[in-house]
Structure 1
Amino acid sequence: MRLSLVTILVLLSVSSVFAQTTPKLEDIAAIKGQCGCHDVNFLYAETFAPEKTYTFKDRYTAKGTEWVFVEEETGPTSRPNKIVIQHLLVVSDSMVIKHWREDWLYQNTSLLKFDQNASWKRTQLSAAQVKGQWTQKVFEVDDSPRYEGSATWIHADGRDYWESTADAPLPRREYTKRTDYNVMRRTNHHEIRPDGYIHEQDNDKIIRSEAGDQLLASEKGLNTYKRTDEKKCQAAKDWWAKNRAYWANVRAVWNEILPNRDAVAIKGQVKGSVLSRELDELAVSSQKTTYDSATSRQLIRQTIEKFLK
């Protein structure tokens, strides 16, 4: 059977669209493939230091149970351009900690790049630079910025992974104990597996000054997320049901503040208090009264702006 020229052109057009959209659908499936109730192992070890006199720090290990879930999607139903994933740490049936958050944005051109000392500078990428890429925006427990990186999801040889390098503040396991460096340059590798996923890291601990960047030490990190019985995360699901509206307002306020700033700097303390503690206290107080979203946002904004330089 001979096909007309019009039919051939239509088939080529459909084929082209399919070729363009299929990778994005694979990306979305991989991003959402991080979700579920997981038993998590956190492992870190310093591996190299340029100075012979450097004393390597002890290896860090920890375990936990974490619920990872899609909290928000923006864009077409089947092909969202933004996917918000929240992590909740289950300490016990009666104790849940709001952990980190990651926003995935498709072909995003505006990123906050960490500088040093709780400060970030906005950087713009061209549309050509981010074509087909996803930005992972990582946020602290109080939804303040942490680090952002853009890269392409790779689906090849039976593997699905994303890898990007970005400067970041010191992680909690470090900044409470040491002050000998002020920037962590993280190469993050997220790879989806049938039973969960791994977050592999190759990190450089950088001393940043006016003279430039100096490497203090390098480390290897491996966080393994293995799916477990969903019942182990029931406490997290119950906790989120009670606190979801409040933290949605916190995200909304940050989303109003951050895009309008070319630079962001956050004060470590205000009158002896830190931002995360004040937002947590506000969350607790919101449970004791009839929840009013407008009032909540106003109080959240006042709290956040108090900590902005």
Structure 2
Amino acid sequence: MRLLNLLGWLTLYSHFSQAQLSPPAQDLAAIKGQCGCHDVDFVYAETFAPEKTYTFKDRYRAKGTEWVFVDEERPGKIVIQHLLVVGDTMVIKHWREDWLFENTSLLKFDQNATWKRVSLPPTQAKGQWTQKVFEVDDSPRYEGSATWIHADGRHFWENTADAPLPRREYTKRSDYNVLRRTNHHEITADGYVHEQDNDKIIRSEAGDQLLVSEKGLNTYKRTDEAKCRVAKEWWQKNRAYWADVRAVWDEVLANRPTVGIRGQVKGNVLGRELDELATASLKTNYNSAASRQLIRQTIEKYLK
């Protein structure tokens, strides 16, 4: 009888262990499920403003072809890079997202190109994935932690995080200084959807004031892989350099309690300088150590 009870407990424990291991495997599949060559539709519309005098801005819509792929993977970390294909011949390095499992250290956007490091209790981070989003020059953008949900045939992740103004607005607007983003990533049969419920916030010493809310819907639909061939070729040539940029940023950001980035230095911007270094690196036999030194010197000029 005792033997039967023991066997019963062992069977139950085995099922429980498998159940505990199953969600991370599903998480990995969902994160990687965002990859592929996609036709992308970007749509944004302002929806609500507390002040009647606010004038709603026109809806924003753009289309593009984007290659989304895993560039680095190790236990508990997946690095996904986005590359835009313009006119079948031109490639633009787009945003990057790092996914970290049960991460407890995040950079939280404050305002004025400044981030503050915050810590999550391990009990809160348990089972969660942090999505760290980076600019085209691999500088910080926003970070958030949440659990991937797998239920009723759906696979999604959702989090709210403060961020700088989006690229579509930061050169055009100065009436708000924080975008509070609720990001919803959901895998679909033919790609994925990045749905957003955003609040455009005026942050001051008096606190946060809502200017206007916005709905965003970025739809990624898989298309012919041949449409991303030029992006794959471009990355093969440029990967070593941008991997070094990423590595230098990791070293620079490690354990900093705050991070501040200057928008311009002597009339130049960080992204342009890093692109110029990338172009120069292609004209010589690539030397990683020498390149990292130049990359670090360039990045450190822009740190406050």
* 1:178 and 2:181 are equivalent in the alignment: no
Where does structure 2 lack aligned partners over 5 or more consecutive residues? none
What residue is the counterpart of 2:41 in the other structure? Answer: 41
> What is the SS of the residue equivalent to 1:89?
strand
* 1:145 and 2:140 are equivalent in the alignment: yes
Write the letter of the residue equivalent to 2:53.
T
**Which whole-Å deviations, capped at 9, do the CAs of 1:235-283 have from their partners, x for residues lacking one?**
0000000000000000100111112201000000000000001000000
What residue is the counterpart of 1:22 in the other structure? Answer: 22
In structure 2, C-alpha distance between the alignment counterparts of 1:136 and 1:117, rounded to whole Å: 22
> What is the SS of the residue equivalent to 2:111?
coil
In structure 1, C-alpha distance between the alignment counterparts of 2:146 and 2:162, rounded to whole Å: 14
What residue is the counterpart of 1:51 in the other structure? Answer: 51
* 1:167 and 2:158 are equivalent in the alignment: no
- Count of matched residue pairs: 304
Which of 279, 285, 300 pairs up with 1:284?
279
Q: Which has the higher mean CA deviation after the structures are superposed, 35-44 or 16-25?
A: 16-25
What residue is the counterpart of 1:85 in the other structure? Answer: 80
> What is the SS of the residue equivalent to 2:22?
helix
Write the letter of the residue equivalent to 1:193.
T
What residue is the counterpart of 1:189 in the other structure? Answer: 184
Task: Quote how far apart the aligned CAs of 1:200 are.
Answer: 0.3
Pairing 1:65-76 to 2, within 5 Å after superposition: 65-75=65-75
In structure 2, C-alpha distance between the alignment counterparts of 1:167 and 1:149, rounded to whole Å: 9
What residue is the counterpart of 2:233 in the other structure? Answer: 238
In structure 2, C-alpha distance between the alignment counterparts of 1:280 and 1:92, rounded to whole Å: 20
Task: Quote how far apart the aligned CAs of 1:2 are.
Answer: 9.2
In structure 1, C-alpha distance between the alignment counterparts of 2:300 and 2:10, rounded to whole Å: 54
Where does structure 1 lack aligned partners over 5 or more consecutive residues? 76-80
> What is the SS of the residue equivalent to 1:115?
strand
* 1:262 and 2:233 are equivalent in the alignment: no
In structure 1, C-alpha distance between the alignment counterparts of 2:220 and 2:145, rounded to whole Å: 22
In structure 2, C-alpha distance between the alignment counterparts of 1:72 and 1:108, rounded to whole Å: 17
Task: Quote how far apart the aligned CAs of 1:9 are.
Answer: 3.9
Write the letter of the residue equivalent to 1:256.
E
Q: CA RMSD in A?
A: 1.2
Task: Quote how far apart the aligned CAs of 1:19 are.
Answer: 1.2
**Which whole-Å deviations, capped at 9, do the CAs of 1:169-201 have from their partners, x for residues lacking one?**
000101010100000000000000010000000
- TM-score, length-scaled by structure 2: 0.98
* 1:221 and 2:216 are equivalent in the alignment: yes
- TM-score, length-scaled by structure 1: 0.96
In structure 2, C-alpha distance between the alignment counterparts of 1:12 and 1:97, rounded to whole Å: 52
What residue is the counterpart of 1:78 in the other structure? Answer: none
In structure 2, C-alpha distance between the alignment counterparts of 1:69 and 1:126, rounded to whole Å: 31
> What is the SS of the residue equivalent to 1:12?
helix
**Which whole-Å deviations, capped at 9, do the CAs of 1:129-149 have from their partners, x for residues lacking one?**
111111000000000000001
> What is the SS of the residue equivalent to 1:51?
coil
In structure 1, C-alpha distance between the alignment counterparts of 2:172 and 2:194, rounded to whole Å: 23
